[in-house]
Amino acid sequence: MLHPIPPTPTQFLTINGPFMIVTSARRVTGRVGTLASSYRFTRLQRCRTISSDAASPDDRPSLKKRPQFRDYFVTYLPSSSLHPDPRGPTSPFHKLPRSASIPHTGETPHSPTSFQQLHHYGAVTARGTRPANEDTYQAGVIDVPAFAKRPPASLTIKRSKSPPRESRGAQTATGDPQVFYFGIFDGHGGSECSTFLKENLHEYIQDTAAEFEVSSILRNKQLQIGGVDSLPVLQAGNRKRIGDLEKSLVQNWRRLVGGYFKRFKPATFSYYGSDSDVDAETAPDGKVSIEEILEYAFLRADLDFVKAQAAKRDDDLVLAEKPLNEDEILHSPSLTRSPKIGGRSRFKGGSTGTTAMISTPSPTPFWHPAAPSSLLVSHVGDTRALLCSTDTGEAIPVSSNHHPSSPIEAARLRRYATTFVTDSFGEERMSGLANTRAFGDVQSKRIGVSAEPELNRIEMGPAEFSFLVMMSDGISGTLLDQEIVDIIKEAKTPEQGARDVVGFATEVSREGDNATCLVVRLGGWERRQEGGVGSLGTKESREWRRQDATDPRRSRT
C-alpha cells in the first residue's frame, strides 16, 4: 500500500544520503511505500515548465503520462553488499528483553532491523580556488525501457519460483528492470547551462523514449535482432513517428543556426518519415536503438537551451530596469511564475557533460557480483569516464576529450579549420574554446560546436569491472587515469573514494579548477585490490606529488 504524504504549497522532502532535507519547490507530490518486490524508494514527481520562447508546442509533443525520475534508490542485497567491506553490523538486531522477543518462525518479508544506506555510489564536488562552482551532477533511476542484452540460453540458470530475498531486485511499473542514470556536467562561463542539464537532461531522455514509443528488449525474444554479439541492439518503436521527429529536429537546427548545421546529419539518425525518399523496404521495420534515443535527446536539449538564449537581448533596457524580484510569488520569494532557461539575460557560456546509463537483463541490480549489465556512456566535451578492470586493476577510459587536437574532431570540422588557433601555452583552441563539442555556447554553434554525443556501449560481465568513475576536467586535467583508479581502490566506500580523489586533485593542482567526482560501485568492488599490484603502482608518485605540493619553495617557480 502506498501512503500519500500531503504536500504543502511550498515544501517537499528531498533525500540527501541518509538525511531528509526540507526545501522549497513549486508543485511536488511525495509518496513513500513498500513494494512486493522488496524495493523501497522515495519518489519525487517533478514538474518542469519550459519557457514559451524555448520550445513551441509543435516542436515538443505533450505526453499523456509524465515519466518519473527517482533520485534515490534502495534495494535488498546480500550482506556483503550492504556494508563497504565484508564485516558484520556494528550493532545487534534488537535490544528487546527476552520476555518481549518472538521466536523466529520462518522467512519474514522484512529484516528485524532497518538496513543501512547502500554504498553503491558516491559523489563529491569542490570549488577549488575559483569564485564559484560551475560543476553539477545527477544520479537516479530513469524511466526508460530496459536495453540490456538478453543472456545466452546456455548460460541462463533456471531459478526456483521463490528466490532468496537478497537475489530479488527492483522493477519499474511496467515490469522492466530499473535503468540507472548517472551524469556529471562541467559548466564554463557560469553554472546556468550545467544546472539546466542536471535538472532536465534525464527528462529529455525519458520524453524521447516515450515519444518514440520504445518497447523493452526483454519482453519478446524477437525484438533482439542480430544475435548476442551484434551492436547496436534494436528495440521496437514507432518508425514513422521517429523519422518525422528527427527530420523536424534537424530542420530546426538549420533554420535557427545554419552554418555547420546546414549539412548536419546525426550519425545515429535514420530518416524514415512520411515524406522520406528512402525505400520503406530497406528500412528496419519498427526498430530503434537506445543510441538513437540518446542522440535525439541531447540535440533536443541543446536546441531548447540555444533557442531560449537567442530569444533574449543583451542590451534590453526594459529588462534591465525591471526589479529583480518582479516574478517572485508573494508568499514564496524563492519561487517564480515563469522561470527562464539560462536565467533572465542571455547566457553566452555552456557546459560539457558525460552521462552513464546501466541496464540489467534481470531485476538483480548491477552492483550484485553475479549480475551482468550493459553500460552506455554518452559524452560531450572534456569530462571523463573510466572503468577499473577487476582482473588487471587497470584504468580503462570509456570517453575521449573533444579538443581541436583530436584527429576525429579535426576531420569533423575540417571546413572550419581556419578557426583553430594555438595559445601561448601550446594548446589548440577553436574560436577561443578548448572544446569542440559542448551544450550552449551560442556564439560558436555556427562553426560546429555541437552537442553530438560520443556513444560507447560496454557489455559488462559479472564482476568484470570494480567501479565506474566520472569526473570533471578539474580532476582529469590534473591526475593520471591510473592515479585516479588507485586512489579509489584504497577507499572503503565509493563516497570516500570520490572524496579522496577530489581532495588529492585539489591539493596538488596548480590551476585550482572546480573538481567533481562520481564513483559508481560495480560487481567487482570487493575485489578491487586484487588485480595487478593493487594501488601500489602509483603510490610512490602520488606521495611525491603530495610532498611537492606542500613544499614552500614551489610558489617561487
- Mean pLDDT highest for which of 24-28, 135-139, 254-258, 330-334? 135-139
Let me know if residue 38 belongs to a domain: no
Bin 248: left if φ > 0, else alpha if -120 < ψ < 50, else beta: alpha
The CATH number assigned to the domain holding 310 equals: 3.60.40.10
How high is the pLDDT of residue 511? Answer: 85
Let me know if residue 369 belongs to a domain: yes
Contact 329, 164 (CB under 8 A): no
Closest of 214, 381, 217 to residue 298, by C-alpha:
381
Bridge-based pairing of strands 420-422 and 428-430 is: antiparallel
Whether the predicted pLDDT of 271 surpasses 80:
no
Let me know if residue 5 belongs to a domain: no
Closest of 212, 498, 172, 232 to residue 376, by C-alpha:
232
Lowest model confidence (mean pLDDT) among 161-175, 185-199, 430-444:
161-175
Let me know if residue 382 belongs to a domain: yes
SS3 call for 108: coil
Cα atoms in the 13 Å half-sphere on the side-chain side of 108: 8
Let me know if residue 427 belongs to a domain: no
- Mean pLDDT highest for which of 115-124, 229-238, 263-272, 467-476? 467-476
Let me know if residue 19 belongs to a domain: no
Let me know if residue 110 belongs to a domain: no
Per residue in 44-101, pLDDT tens?
333 343 334 444 444 444 444 555 666 555 444 444 444 444 444 444 444 445 555 5
For 51-64, b/e burial (b = at least 16 CB within 10 A) is eeebbeeeebeeee
- Mean pLDDT highest for which of 90-99, 112-121, 472-481? 472-481
Provide the grid cell at 540.
610512490
Whether the predicted pLDDT of 274 surpasses 50:
no
How high is the pLDDT of residue 328? Answer: 54
Let me know if residue 379 belongs to a domain: yes
How high is the pLDDT of residue 56? Answer: 46
CB under 8 Å to 160, separation ≥6 — which residues? none
Q: How confident is the model at residue 374 (pLDDT cuts 50, 70, 90)?
A: very high
Question: Mean pLDDT in the chain?
Answer: 74
Where in the sequence is the domain holding 473, given as residue range(s)? 48-80+118-153+174-402+437-556
Per residue in 351-362, pLDDT tens?
999 999 999 988
Higher pLDDT, 109 or 231: 231
How high is the pLDDT of residue 551? Answer: 82
- In the chain, the number of structural domains is 1
Q: How confident is the model at residue 112 (pLDDT cuts 50, 70, 90)?
A: very low
Whether the predicted pLDDT of 276 surpasses 80:
no
How high is the pLDDT of residue 327? Answer: 53
Contact 146, 359 (CB under 8 A): yes
Per residue in 489-514, pLDDT tens?
999 999 999 999 999 999 999 888 99
